[in-house]
Amino acid sequence: MIIKSTRDGFGEALLKLGKTRKDIFVVDADLKESLRISEFAQKYPDQFIECGVAEQNMIGVAAGLALTGKTVFATSFACFSPVISWNQIRIAVCYSKANVKIVGSHAGLATGMDGASHQSLEDIALMQVLPNMVILVPADYEQAKQLTKLAAEHVGPVYLRLARPETEAVSGKRLAVRVGGSEILRKGNKITIIGCGIVLGEAMKAAEKLDAEVINCYSVKPLDEKTILESVKKTGRVITIEDHNVIGGLGSAVAELLGQKYPVPLKILGIKDKFGESARDYKELWHKYGLDSDTIIDAAEEVDQEIR
């Protein structure tokens, strides 16, 4: 089984796209190695612009290129862009409907020892409230390649959220992806687990003990409402999990959907309105903040008690 990071998948897919599509440009904020785009910069120097440590300016450059007909990927750590560059994204990209793909890597607690300043736990929430913005979060290396291609094909603003760690694939079979799509990683009958990103590996571990249906909600905005509702109507109970603040993320979006269309017992797992911290390994943080398989199993029992 391939063990690679979602940022690796992004870099490889972008390199392939650069060969066949000369309209694709990459602008970077001095993080070529970390975003896996060094080879793209070397092979296609006429399609690459290094903006330096100036994320707000980078977004302006990206929007300007997009408005001349280019498809632009603007790359940085999520804690810098979209967090620092949010106002530029709001006006120059979203208001203008510019064809810019914001790529935020090293998102969530999964940066490990980098600590709170570099652990972006609010980026999905920031992107959720922006009109015209699509949010895509790959679960593993292979899906990162798929979603990079999808982002390039979609005309309009996209936020692609990537992670640092190398992880195993959550699924041995890859289905076609689409904006507003999802994939059922595991069929089940007793509870629905909805997640996004690499933390889905923990959901799959827990699901084996729960007879759970697991949905990879790789399109956080727009949601795949049809698939979610069909699953929930079968199981009658839901857990969401994400490496993000519980406020404004995937769980909040699912809660809004269910509250309006099919209310059922729901448990939202994520970081409970706190900043992160340093650790030797990100798995230690996932355990402390309740993002591991044991916490999911406990949450399922709590939801079950509510029904009884």
pLDDT in tens, 108-148: 999 988 999 999 999 999 999 999 999 999 999 999 999 99
- Amino acid 308: pLDDT: 63
Q: Could you report the per-residue pLDDT of 213-259, keeping only the tens digit for each? A: 999 999 999 999 999 999 999 999 999 999 999 999 999 999 999 99
The CA-based angle 232-6-82, given to 5 degrees, is 85
Nearby residues of 249 by Cβ (< 8 Å), 6 or more positions away: 124, 125, 128, 220, 242, 270
Residues 142-157, mean pLDDT to the nearest whole number:
98
Q: Could you report the per-residue pLDDT of 179-196, keeping only the tens digit for each? A: 999 999 999 999 999 999
Indicate if the pLDDT at residue 87 is higher than 90: yes
Q: What's the pTM value of the predicted model, to 2 decimals? A: 0.97
Q: Which of 140, 282, 249 is nearest to 204 (CA)?
A: 140
Residues 80-97, mean pLDDT to the nearest whole number:
98
Q: Which of 269, 216, 221 is nearest to 245 (CA)?
A: 269
Fold of 175-307: Rossmann fold (3.40.50)
Of the two residues 161 and 2, the one the predictor is more confident about is 161
Indicate if the pLDDT at residue 97 is higher than 90: yes
Residues 260-278, mean pLDDT to the nearest whole number:
97
Token digits of residue 48? 């690459």
Indicate if the pLDDT at residue 279 is higher than 80: yes
- Amino acid 2: pLDDT: 83
Indicate if the pLDDT at residue 30 is higher than 90: yes
Per-residue CA distances from 213 to 91, 183, 295 (Å): 39, 11, 17
Token digits of residue 244? 């993000």
Q: How confident is the model at residue 173 (pLDDT cuts 50, 70, 90)?
A: confident
- Amino acid 1: pLDDT: 74
Indicate if the pLDDT at residue 172 is higher than 90: no
Query: Would you kindly state where each structural domain of the chain is located, as residue ranges?
Result: 3-167, 175-307
Residues 262-287, mean pLDDT to the nearest whole number:
97
Q: How confident is the model at residue 202 (pLDDT cuts 50, 70, 90)?
A: very high
CATH superfamily of 3-167: Thiamin diphosphate (ThDP)-binding fold, Pyr/PP domains (3.40.50.970)
Q: What does pLDDT average to over the chain?
A: 97
Token digits of residue 214? 């697991």
Q: 48 φ, ψ to 5°?
A: -130, 135
Residues 256-279, mean pLDDT to the nearest whole number:
98
Token digits of residue 4? 């690679």
Q: Which residues belong to the active site?
A: 55
The CA distance from 138 to 89, in Å, is 21
Q: 247 φ, ψ to 5°?
A: -90, 120
Indicate if the pLDDT at residue 307 is higher than 90: no
Indicate if the pLDDT at residue 102 is higher than 80: yes
Residue type, 297: I
- Let me know if the fold of 3-167 is the same as that of 175-307: yes
Q: pLDDT above 70 covers what percent of the chain?
A: 100
Nearby residues of 153 by Cβ (< 8 Å), 6 or more positions away: none
For residue 17, the tally of other CB atoms under 10 A from its CB is 23
